[in-house]
Amino acid sequence: MKHFISIKDVADLTGLIKTSKEIKQNPHTDSELGRNKTLGLVFFNSSLRTRMSTTRAAYNLGMNVIALNVSSDSWQLEFSDGIRMDGGTAEHIREAVPVLCSYCDIIGVRSFPALVNREEDYSEKVINSFIEFGTCPIVNLESATLHPLQSFTDMLTIEEFKSVDRPKVVMTWAPHIKALPQAVSNSFLQWAKQMDFELTITHPEGLELASEFTEGIQVEYNQEKAFEKADFVYVKNWSSYQDYGKVVGQPDWEITLEKLRNTNEAKVMHCLPVRRNVVIADNVLDSDHSIVIPQAQNRLYTAQTVLKEILTSL
Ligand code: CP
């Protein structure tokens, strides 16, 4: 594996999940693989799980880790070409990325969308600049439109918790007070399509995601109907793709215990962080339905799998 930007970088998904299960059983087997190698973690946005799990994964492989919070620790970066840099940006991405790659063997990048200009966000300017100007492998720690480390984790978690060969997996929109990216949802669909799932998306009309991600997947606008006999309910808010970045208020789409009554005792998943009693009710998160903690724990093993794959090909 050269870079890890999306599912397109995965040649063998079944093999990757198998490796992550092996790593989960024996996380210290490859503790020499990353000796004298350094992982750089570049954060343009906040993180708890991604930062901690990727750092721990690198330590399990014997790597060193350096994290940079761009907005608070570093120079403000310029991405436009041919401009006179007499404003707020002090360093151009054309210098910053090669310099970072001269210190690090692998670089992970987290950069959320601004949710103002759809074309700009979907062009993936930040992560593509790291690939273009970098000389080392780049790992997507959540970009403007995709979160592949989360999706890989979600696939591993469903594989672990499924009780039937072909589970019914329902990805449901849920309300939120802020404009959130579509990255987790887009990416979940990219990965879930490659699995043997009965896959359904449910959301209020008008909240359709980009067709490149939803193509071929059943959309059911009636949440109650969508949940019937579901084995997994994957909960995620996203702001409008059509009316780009708009927050849609639909409080009745919150996930409550009552809504799970016609499921197949569905396991409830969420990438976290989750706003209790806005997105998912306490009585769901504190019940046996919820698998959000083991799901988050799996972030460690999938991150370690990806780093192992890249280290092996250096
Ligand atoms: N799910 C996830 O990516 O969590 P963080 O934003 O805390 O990294």
Tens-digit pLDDT profile for residues 95-121: 999 999 999 999 999 999 999 999 999
Tens-digit pLDDT profile for residues 233-273: 999 999 999 999 999 989 999 999 999 999 999 999 999 99
Which residue's CA is the nearest one to ligand 1's atom 3? 50
Give residue 149 CA to ligand 1 midpoint distance, Å.
Answer: 10
Asked if the 150-296 domain carries CATH number 3.40.50.1370, the reply is: yes
Q: Are 42 and 70 in contact (CB under 8 A)?
A: yes
Tell me which of 274, 299, 302, 306 to substitute to probe ligand 1's pocket, judged by most ligand atoms within 8 Å of the beta carbon. Answer: 299
Tens-digit pLDDT profile for residues 8-24: 999 999 999 999 999 99
Ligand 1 site residues (CB inside 6 A) read 47-50, 142, 150, 271-273
Q: Is the pLDDT of residue 150 over 90?
A: yes
Domain ranges of the chain: 7-147+299-311, 150-296
Closest-CA residue to 126 (of 172, 164, 181): 181
Is the C-alpha dihedral spanning 189, 245, 46, 34 positive or negative? positive
Which residue's CA is the nearest one to ligand 1's atom 6? 47
Note the pLDDT of residue 61. Answer: 98
Note the pLDDT of residue 130. Answer: 98
Q: Is the pLDDT of residue 157 over 90?
A: yes
Q: What is the value of pTM for the model shown? A: 0.97
Q: Are 311 and 61 in contact (CB under 8 A)?
A: yes
Q: Is the pLDDT of residue 77 over 90?
A: yes
User: What rounded mean pLDDT belongs to the chain?
Assistant: 97
pLDDT band at 71; cut points 50, 70, 90: confident
Which residue's CA is the nearest one to ligand 1's atom 4? 49
Architecture of domain 7-147+299-311: 3-Layer(aba) Sandwich (3.40)
Tens-digit pLDDT profile for residues 163-215: 999 999 999 999 999 999 999 999 999 999 999 999 999 999 999 999 999 99
3-state secondary structure of 165: coil
